[in-house]
């Protein structure tokens, strides 16, 4: 398991890669908007550490915080067709 907040079950490598990719996309979008983590935290209504955890791709972060940060900067998340 990766470092960070503990979660109750182990997550597969594919899922961890997806979480990290979403975190990287959130960070890139925030930086492209010219905002710091503190500004993003204030806009989303969370602690600045939460923004850091989302952007680091920690698996224990709330999906609501992850998707909320992405939406804040106009990054859409769509399920992949199988």
Q: What is the pLDDT of residues 21-55, one digit of tens each?
A: 999 999 999 999 999 999 999 999 999 999 999 99
The Cα–Cα gap between 66 and 47 comes to 13
CA–CA separation, 76 and 69 (whole Å): 10
| HEC per residue, 23-79 | HHHHHHHHHHCCCCHHHHHHHHCCCHHHHHHHHHCCCCCCHHHHHHHHHHCCCCCCC
How many Å is the maximal CA-CA distance in the chain?
A: 38
- pLDDT in the model for residue 2: 46
Query: Does position 71 have pLDDT exceeding 90, yes or no?
Result: yes
């Amino acid at each position: 398991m990766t470092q960070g907040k503990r979660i109750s079950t182990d997550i597969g490598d594919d899922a961890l890669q997806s979480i990290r990719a979403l975190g990287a996309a959130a960070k890139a979008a925030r930086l492209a908007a010219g905002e710091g983590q503190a500004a993003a935290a204030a806009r989303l209504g969370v602690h600045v550490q939460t923004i850091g955890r989302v952007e680091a791709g920690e698996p224990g972060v709330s999906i609501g915080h992850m998707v909320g940060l992405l939406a804040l900067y106009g990054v859409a998340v769509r399920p992949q067709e199988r």
